[in-house]
Amino acid sequence: MADLSIVLSEAPRECWLALAKDESKVVGQGENIAEALDEAKENGEDDPLLIWAPEQWIPSVYSPV
């Protein structure tokens, strides 16, 4: 499996990203999920991982409330 931190550091920001199943590369992007998914399908990835790419990646810690 690829280092996701490297893949995301090189990815566009402020958009939805579609990642390959093995998380090795960005296979689509768009202003909304549908655009990212359509581009991923055009690139041969039918079931990508979809995530929002913020302007800046900030470490977060989540805990139950």
Low-confidence ranges of the chain (pLDDT < 70): 1
pLDDT at 62: 77
Q: Which of 18, 19, 22, 10 is nearest to 57 (CA)?
A: 10
* Angle (nearest 5°) at CA 64 between 63 and 65: 115
- From the number of C-beta atoms within 10 Å of its C-beta (0-12, 13-18, 19+), residue 25 rates as middle
Residue showing tokens 């990646």: 57
Give the global pTM.
0.84
C-beta separation of 39 from 48 below 8 A: no
pLDDT at 1: 61
Tokens of 46: 């039918």
